[in-house]
Structure 1
């Protein structure tokens, strides 16, 4: 893969060492999620999962918005053509948000501007979120007759139920400052520092043992609703305890040198 590739859908893929930067580059549509860009994002996330050289992912948007959600113009055009509209989980393709959640490589959302509707759901599907001040966030689906399927499931797991339901029922937005107080935003930084901060955070993650990171993400995601005794014995993902990297990590620590991870 070359350093930078642009898909016809508007997705830009760039490798920065062991970090893969994915940019939604449809600023004229506020980076709305067309069918094509959703398909490309799913494909790219699956590739990242298979590529041992990719150890962290940063997802961002170009222009003034992170992502304004699904492409409503595309949906309306389909309605006018009489095309059947399928709910998110009844489609022949996998849900982008589901794939993001299950991708074993950590994903950081660099939220430079508005993250609303499906754009907010996309941010929620990421593991960590870095945002600029004053960014509007929310799920306005009730105002336009949509369902916020992913957000309705995930948001009550991230913040208190009453607050989540108020956001869902009213369709109103909150700012990134409020989202940070709720724990939805990991870091709130000046707008010009959003992407650099996200990339530095990704590089910090990428410097750690890849088997350990993948194990931690799979365990955290899949054990969330399990009783403690089941969660402790879940045993999903690669096993770092039996890996060569465990031996290397201990040796490097004791020898006071940087570790040389092999991913084995």
Structure 2
């Protein structure tokens, strides 16, 4: 990782922060900035020039959120976010999407995001695809990871599926070697999980009840469960290294693929 890496993240939830990867990136002296979409009034439109210049960012990480990528009427800035994202991708730069972020990348590139057959919330088991595609970002054969989603993405053009489970077919994908989308939350920390658990309305929206679930997930913040957090955090840190190492070697192909997506 080069020194003074310029990392930018899109934040959709107040208080969520940058997750576990912030410590990893700061150890490597990265310069971290953020766009706080949550601070905008819901119905406010956003000019694309209000966002950073794509040339000024070396790595983009798109965080999760409680809204749907389809909620453009309620959150008009989603249109601008996707338009900006297409510009960034067209330059062959590295992008990682986490939960809503993985859906955002897929949708910006023309894939559908819709209700998943089952809502996933809590620690679930995910499996790397078998046989595993060569020269792709390597995931463990099986791992437990935090989930918090009711929708899921279809795979955009050129994407390679990396992981799946019975509840959600598309759990992780990559496009080229510089774009990775996760449906789960590898960045989760005990503090971030507690933030999720404080939102009773959000839990009820997913489950229709909250007392039992909150008890179960609160136990998962104990030190004995530290291996689960470490597994996800290691996956994300390695993903960062992977996309940075392999960026921009396929810019022309990406630009060709983007011609069939809405112009940005």
TM-score by length of 2: 0.37
Q: Return the structure number with greater relative CO, CA threshold 8 A, min gap 6.
A: 2
Question: Whose Rg is larger?
Answer: 1
